[in-house]
Structure 1
């Protein structure tokens, strides 16, 4: 009998890849999206769509009870719903914590708790790493997020961990890239134009995870049946912005790219101005004070030893391979 799996936030960049892999593994796959959400990358006829009212717990309970009455209780739920940029800082809490809490409370009240509830968190929930000796960020470290985004994700994590017996699995990926992603696309467009902008003069190590490898971790967690666990996720290596630039330039066939290093105070000023303009236009900006705090962080190395030993995870995509596949997709689809 097929196992039932819900992907909450299926319409996003990562969500589409989760749905694809779930279908490949023959799950009865449900995509939780709003009616207004684009289905551009959700075209498989086997996908079942559902619009759940995450902002209203009582309504969620009613929806879940109706599904239960019809014989449907999801075996697995992957919570991929969240916001990485908001017009108002308070919205991070409302979306990344409040909606998750409503849904989890409704699952408990309706008696429809799944075997596993896999939450997409972020390395940003742990805050800045050691910027003196550059030791990896470890699960044992005391989390101290600097961004509103990271704080909201940590708050959601703490809520899950506070529920006795709740079968959570928390995933904390570093920077996720791949086809269809739009933030790294902006950086690649700049490199294509012949420039590479980096921030700050102190040494910086950045880390990445290709979207397909991230999805691989999710299904390894399902196969292993782990619960009440949390994992950092990266491809296991640390890179500099120079290495990233070289991989992108090679994939683009770009021979000359001029590196431009910007002082932190300049980036901070631009971020503040961008945030102010977004408050006028009513549209969340990609560059804002929250994003600035992420860019100024010097150490994004994280310890993935538990992900390797407990889940058996080994990445299929080191950065050069992942960048090449991503750039190729962008070119083929007219994005780059």
Structure 2
């Protein structure tokens, strides 16, 4: 197979790990990023950089034509996306329209990849059954109830209308690991002896460690069985909030952690206020009404049977191992901050 890889949206938390995994597997890696994108997680000197203006298909076509081989002798991982926005309309622009622009640029440049893996989200499927807690599967009919989820299913549907694009779609559940910020908030809270949960009903959570997700990307690209197929990506078990708390507390060596349950209505009020503050500051808030709908969801159970069958998906990290590395990175960052 080709060992040329273009990673679009490489500058973020997940993108950096995808680039590292590609290098580990012997790829020549080109990172597609904006001019303003931080290269903090792309420090390896072997990485080549390609500056892309996602609003401008013509500019991208020219840049891509000069950076990747002619024909289909490369793999493209499309990891570009926004998980929180100040203006909810930006979800559609960034998660859907930018994909359309990139595909247009690929066609203009005559650089259709041999394979394209699109990073979607489990949120594209919408809420799971909260009565039986049955797992979400590849046969689940998508019914997203967030603007984020809608933008992702729109992007998926667009790819399905592109007969010339040899796509594979990943729908990962909650991705965590070093440098990720949302789960880091939970770890910091537990480190300070508090565990804030949402709602009184049981919530089943699923996770995927970022290194397992990055490895799965290239395992899927290595086989034709994944062509034009969609896969849920998750550790093959779920956890309650109490289990997460106990695991994190043990790794953090915190014997006393006080669980606090925030009522759903209170979370909505806090999310609405935080969203308004984010608008005033022109900075996306971690809490907003879209995130509220995700946090109130009780059932994140999901099945990875299709990924196991088609490309041998087998995560190496369970939550204990993944959180151990994540906490180690968190403590290292605290040490760096203290030394400044």
Change (3 A) 1:326 1:66: closer
Say if 2:273 is the partner of 1:273.
yes
After superposition, the C-alpha distances for 1:1-35 in whole angstroms (9 at most, x for unaligned) are: 96210111111000111111111111110111123
CA contact (8 A) 2:51 2:63 kept: no
Separation in 2, partners of 1:79, 1:71: 19
**Cα offset, 1:59, TM superposition:** 2.2
Q: CA RMSD in A?
A: 1.6
C-alpha distance after superposition, 1:253-288 (max 9, x if no partner)? 000000000110000011011111111111110000
Match of 1:89 in 2: 88
Q: Structure 2: state its 5+ residue gaps.
A: none
Decide whether aligned partners of structure 1 residues 316 and 67 sit closer, same or farther in structure 2, where only a CA change above 3 A counts: closer
Q: Structure 1 residue 91: deviation in Å?
A: 0.2
SS of the equivalent of 1:212 reads helix
Q: State the match for 2:142 in structure 1.
A: 143
Classify the secondary structure of the residue corresponding to 1:129.
coil
Q: Contact 2:50–2:67 (CA<8 Å) still a contact in 1?
A: no
> What SS does structure 1 have at the residue aligned with 2:77?
strand
CA shift for structure 1 position 309: 0.6
Q: Which residue number in structure 2 is paired with residue 175 of structure 1?
A: 174
Using the alignment, how far apart are the partners of 1:192 and 1:88 within structure 2?
33
2:75 touches 2:113 (CA, 8 Å); kept in 1? Answer: yes
Change (3 A) 1:111 1:333: same
Structure 1: unaligned runs, 5 residues or longer = none
Q: Look up the match of 1:242.
A: 242
Task: Note if 1:311 corresponds to 2:308.
Answer: no
Partner of 2:28: 28
- How many Å apart are 1:58 and its aligned residue? 2.3
> What SS does structure 2 have at the residue aligned with 1:267?
helix
Contact kept in structure 2, 1:268 and 1:289, CA below 8 Å: yes
CA apart distance, 1:165? 4.0
TM-score w.r.t. the length of structure 2 is 0.95
Q: Deviations over 1:240-263 (max 9, x none)?
A: 011111111111100000000011
Aligned to 2:159: 160
Deviations 1:32-70 (A, max 9, x none): 1123222222121111011012211122223333446x8
Equivalent pairs, count: 335
1:74 & 1:271 partners in 2: Cα distance?
Answer: 46
After TM superposition, the structure 1 = structure 2 runs for residues 183-222 of structure 1, keeping only pairs within 5 Å, are 183-222=182-221
Aligned equivalents of 2:59, 2:264: Cα separation in 1: 46
